[in-house]
Amino acid sequence: MFAKLAQPFPLGATLCDRGCNFSIHAPDHKEIKLVLFDNENKKKIIDLDNQHLDIHYTFVEGITAGQIYGYQIKDKDEIRLVLDPYAQALSKTPFYTEPFTAQRSWDFAKSVVVDQRFDWEGTTLPQVPLEETVLFETHVKGFTKRHPAIDQTKQGTYLGLCQPAMIEYFKQQGITSLQLLPVTSCMSEPHLLKMDKVNYWGYNSLCFMAPEPRYAQQDPVTEMKTMVKELHRHGIEVIMDIVFNHTAEGGEGGPKFHFKCLDKHYYLLDREKNYKNHTGCGNTFDLTYQPSLNIVLDTLRHWVTNYKIDGFRFDLAATLGRNGDRFDMHSAFFKAIAQDPILQKVKLIAEPWDIGPDGYQLGYFPRGWNECNDKFRDTVKSYWLCQENNVKEFATRLMGSRDLFSAGKWPDKLPVNFVSYHDGFTLQDLVSYNHKHNHANGENNRDGHGDNRSNNQGVEGETENYAVLSRRERQKRNLMTTLLFSFGIPHVLAVDALSHTQGGNNNAYCQDNEISWADWTPSKDKAEFSQWLATMLERRKNIMSPFIRAFSGHNRGHHRIQWNRSNGHTMNAEDWQRLEAFALYLGLFKDGKEMMFLVNSSSIPTRYRLPAGSKWQVVCDTSEATLGSRQVQTTYMQGAQSLTILYRD
């Protein structure tokens, strides 16, 4: 009776006024069946009586939103329930006790039919220009879990992130774009389950299209949309950190949730048998395989269309451009996005590497993609914290890493510069610890990166030594000023604005507790730094963004750039090898706005001679804890190991 309503596309569960179409790609299981569950968990098994291109589908009359379902397959003489890879919601937070057997699959989280209709109340997309964008990397749960002004029932949730107190904070801080750590449904790895821990960061995708249930009070779909709506209402973008390079099914012997059972070719395989592990997570999703490419593109369109997401940050994105063991910037994935009328409009940010062969691809992603610039991170930390006199490298990163990202292709190829990220030391820990302290992770401190390029300023960890604390605050200001006033898109770790410490843990991926949760406890130093950062973000928008805009594209060669010694003379070849105090002068066009960077990495104060003309406004001096509004004209005394930005229009 309903044969005409049954369709192979779109895949997943699609509602209409007469019922629901169920469609699943399953070439390895010809006898797959649909299972519907009622409120008492009683099941009804339905044949998928239509097939097309290895897709099994049927239409079921009378189905409404909230219907719980799954798919039954026969797995080595056992009957297993698998999730719909296209599931748009899950019935509960996924959890299981090892081992994940066919019998236990029936007690696992199940797929849920969703009605995506939602009242957006006329809110519009912020559409922040790239040169004005500041990414604020935020964990939905962790950033509000301990916020004292948020109702306890909403702390750590989607709704918590859009409460008036948070909106006010984001606007005061000058944040344009929240980059959320993964909010797609996640399953913790088996080794974490054995230790009674969870994957706090969420980089272990279960169902790409389903929002993570952990962050919802009741309905993840509606609550996440409400969060996006309220942030958009106040001009704040939402960027999703999304993981397509691997899935939660792991490698050989890993759990079977869906892909492994339905079609082994979803994954990159070695001789059609073993899972290739270019991600360090057990498997590698193969985007040269059409069904794999389809679900990734369908997922991206799903988040943009149904949730109004403004962009994506792609974890280990080199995997997405792989053709076997090689990376190809002309791969089908990149071309498919470039021609997609929905996806070509959103921000696209790549983590441009994975751990496989040919895996490091910084600077080699197509136009329209911005890339996380780890060379900026390493250079800037080495310069300020390790006293490496890498002047040439530092200058290159300050000017936008044009050895990798041509200014002729800015702003769409501006690098995403960062000093700290979710993985690694927080800003506070960069200046407080020389060594990682990851014992709480249960791996005997063997996990986490060993190359931190940090400096504890004389004492490991907490101290009340005023001199040490003063040096730490100055170095924080050095790092953040360099980040905000370099050419590029600044990426700020949200908890850094609060001077949050993880106690030296540089790999807190499994710490769903006070180690990771943002510490809102007030203190004079924290408040001072937070206010300093907010003012600097405002000054960046007003001063640095126009310079980035002017230096982008065709006009890039019409401006003035000079590299000088502190005495005002032009730097020579020898200076680039050893100079500790130098200045960068930038002037727009022939007689436009001007800016100067006075950089002194030496241990002694240095006097700088300034270009003649009208008075300069002191934008910031990192040797000072507060930001004033004074002016200078002919010379400037720069403190040791500090940086000053000057400006005049």
Q: Would you state the torsion angle of the CA atoms of residues 374, 303, 171, 176, taken in this order, to the nearest 10 degrees?
A: 40
pLDDT reported for residue 271: 76
Q: What is the DSSP string of 612-642?
A: SSSPEEEEEETTSSS----EE-SEEEEPTTE
Q: Quick check: pTM over 0.95?
A: yes
pLDDT in tens, 272-307: 779 999 999 999 999 999 999 999 999 999 999 999
- End position of a domain, from candidates 112, 144, 178: 112
Contact 270, 209 (CB under 8 A): no
Q: Among all chains, which residue has been given the structure tokens 């179409």?
A: 21
Locate 155 and state its tokens.
């702390």
The answer to whether position 406 is within a domain reads: yes
520 and 404 fall within a common domain: yes
**394 and 347 within one domain:** yes
Residue 366's alpha-carbon distances to 131, 173, 191, 304, 628, in angstroms, are 18, 32, 37, 21, 42
If DSSP states are collapsed to H, E and C, what string results for 58-69? EEEECCCCCCEE
User: Could you tell me the CATH number of the domain that includes residue 205?
Assistant: 3.20.20.80
What is the CATH number for 58?
2.60.40.10
For the cut 90, the answer to whether the pLDDT of residue 76 exceeds it is no
Pairing of strands 237-242, 311-314: parallel
Q: What is the DSSP letter of 205?
A: B
In a domain, 120, yes or no: no
By the 8 A CB rule, do 350 and 369 touch?
Answer: yes
Per-residue burial over 199-224, b if 16 or more Cβ lie within 10 Å, else e, is bbbbbbbbbbbbbbbbbbeebbbbbb
Instruction: Choose among 374, 398, 403: nearest CA to 547.
Output: 398
The 10s digit of each residue's pLDDT in 216-257 is: 999 999 999 999 999 999 999 999 999 999 999 999 999 999
| 498, 532: one domain | yes
188 in the same domain as 53: no
Is 4 a member of any domain? no
Q: Are residues 94 and 151 in the same domain?
A: no
Instruction: Give the number of other CB atoms < 10 A from CB of residue 564.
Output: 20
Name the DSSP class of 90. Answer: B
Q: Tell me which of 137, 189, 315, 354 is the catalytic residue.
A: 315
What mean pLDDT is predicted for residues 28-51? 95
Identify the active-site residue in 351, 371, 374, 594. 351
Domain with 151, as residue range(s), is 130-547
Q: Residues 274-296, buried b or exposed e (16+ Cβ, 10 A)?
A: ebbbbbebbbbbbbbbebbbbbb
Q: Structure tokens of 313?
A: 């940050």
Number of domains in the chain: 3
| 18 domain residue, yes or no | yes
User: What Å distances lie between residue 89 and 39, 86, 96, 219, CA to CA?
Assistant: 16, 9, 18, 9
Query: What does the mean pLDDT of the chain come to?
Result: 96
- Claim to verify: residue 148 and residue 20 sit in the same structural domain: no
pLDDT digits 0-9 by tens, 596-639: 999 999 999 999 999 999 999 999 999 999 998 999 999 999 99
**Residue 21 half-sphere exposure, CB side, CA atoms within 13 Å?**
19
Query: What are the DSSP E strand ranges found in 28-84?
Result: 33-37, 43-47, 50-52, 55-61, 68-75, 78-82
* Residue 328 designated active-site: no
74 and 142 share a domain?
no
Q: How far apart are CA 197 and CA 308, in angstroms?
A: 32
Does 277 share its domain with 365?
Answer: yes
Q: SS3 of 129, please?
A: coil
The reply to whether 78 belongs to the active site is no
Helix (H) or strand (E) holding 112: strand 111-112
Task: Give the span between the Cα atoms of 32 and 71, in whole angstroms.
Answer: 7
Last residue of a domain, one of 547, 579, 612: 547
Share of the chain above pLDDT 70, in %: 100
pLDDT for 540-552, tens place per residue? 999 999 999 999 9
Cα distance between residue 117 and residue 101, in whole Å: 36
21 lies in the same domain as 52: yes
The Cα 184–Cα 286 span in angstroms is 19
HEC string of 421-436?
A: CCCCCCHHHHCCCCCC
> What's the whole-number mean pLDDT along residues 143-158?
98
Euclidean distance between CA atoms 296 and 258, whole angstroms: 15
Residue 622 and residue 505 in one domain = no
Angle between helices 524-539 and 164-173 (to 10 degrees): 60
Flag whether 1 is in a domain.
no
Q: Is residue 626 in some structural domain?
A: yes
Residues 534 and 565 in one domain: no
Place of tokens 């369709």: 7
- For residue 510, give both structure tokens: 């499994």
User: How far out from the chain centre does Cα 594 lie?
Assistant: 33
Is residue 2 one of the residues assigned to a domain?
A: no
pLDDT tops 70 at residue 3: no
**Cβ contact 320:245 at 8 Å:** yes
Mapped onto helix, strand or coil, the DSSP state of residue 190 is: helix
Q: For position 1, what pLDDT does the model report?
A: 42
Same domain, 511 and 618: no
pLDDT in tens, 430-482: 999 999 999 999 999 999 999 999 999 999 999 999 999 999 999 999 999 99
Determine phi and psi for 437, rounding to 5 degrees: -135, 80
Is 634 inside a domain boundary?
A: yes
Distance CA 171, CA 169 (A): 5
Both tokens of residue 394? 């530092």
Element (H, E) at 607: strand 606-609
Average pLDDT over residues 1-10: 80
Q: Which of 547, 571, 602 represents a domain boundary (last residue)?
A: 547
pLDDT confidence tier of residue 389, bands split at 50, 70 and 90: confident
